[in-house]
Amino acid sequence: MNAPVTVASNTTKNSTTPAGFSPAKYGKVLEIGSGFTAMAFKEKDFSGGMDPLVMVDHYKMTMPTFGAHPHAGLSAVSVLFEDSEGKFHNRDTLGNDFDLMPGDLYWLKAGAGVVHDESPRTGSKIHGLQVFVNLPSIYKTSEPESLHVEAHRVPVYEGNGSRVRILLGSSKGISGQQSPALPMTILDGSTDSNGGFMHTLNGGENAWIYAVKGEITLTVSGREVHLSSGQSVAYSPLNKRTEQALQVSNSNDKSAHFVLFAAKPVGETFVQKGPFVMSSEAEIERIEADFAAGKLGHLD
């Protein structure tokens, strides 16, 4: 999925920022045609704390929008929330041709390059996240791979007024599937009023947390950040050698929906141009030429 044009700017609500946290940000509002709306978040807005994430679009899609498009140098990850309705048709030049269902995850490690297409089936209403994850330079020309995690195979933690789907990685001693690229934990959680959930970050991991709906408070080592619906924050630990307990709490009188991504940063300079994330402008030019020459394949 290509990154669309920005039509509104970020705002931040928190007046002070505790150590380790980036300022809380709202996404940029995007609208493409009559069938796609999104809130877009970019790594440049989080002072490096979002690494290895390059961008996240929180979107709703009801009509085909982007058509077949290329990817290279990154992983394109689709997270479908459980309140999606209907089927999301997924195709790519790895030979995949199937429907994603509500609650599914699809990880496409593009590496050296693929052509990809996702579109709602007629009458479907898709609600989810489209995520670009950077690849280290040594893997930007690796063979593409993919992983489809079906909703019924996602382990779920329930306790303390919370329900958390472990889409990838592990939390609370429960392990889900592993990505075909960088090790990463992706959690899709909800908390009731006065509920809470604690996730332990491994040493050196960054975290990016987004309040999809409702209000949550994040606490690490006594430092707190409050997120309202539509806000996100990145956390980069001051001590990168030790584990960090990250508490998600809901003191509001309504339930909250949040997502959490955790992984070690790539820590490399990169250039993004639409669906490509490469190490230099020269590599961007090369992959654009390869795509134009049909070297990334075709979808009929």
Name the band, by pLDDT with cuts 50, 70 and 90, for residue 7. Answer: very low
Q: Which residue has the higher pLDDT, 164 or 241?
A: 164
Could you give the CA distance from residue 196 to residue 59 in angstroms, rounded to a whole number? Answer: 26
Q: Encoding tokens for residue 69? A: 């498009």
Give per-residue pLDDT as tens, 101-112.
999 999 999 999
Nearest by Cα to 93 from 76, 108, 78: 108
Average pLDDT over residues 263-283: 97
Would the pLDDT of 16 be above 90? no
Query: Which whole-number Å values give the CA distances from 296 to 82, 201, 218, 225, 291, in the listed order?
Result: 32, 37, 42, 43, 5
Describe the strand order of the beta sheet including 216-220 as a list of residue ranges: 196-201, 244-249, 216-220, 223-227
Dihedrals phi, psi of 139, to nearest 5 degrees: -105, 0
Nearest by Cα to 128 from 210, 24, 185, 6: 210
Would the pLDDT of 22 be above 70? yes
Give the pLDDT score at 251.
Answer: 80
Give the pLDDT score at 18.
Answer: 86
| Portion of the chain with pLDDT greater than 90, in percent | 88
For the chain, list the domains and their CATH numbers: 25-292 (2.60.120.10)
Would the pLDDT of 5 be above 70? no
Give the pLDDT score at 47.
Answer: 86
At 288 the three-state DSSP class reads: helix
Give the alpha-carbon dihedral of 275, 289, 266, 55, to 10 degrees. Answer: -10
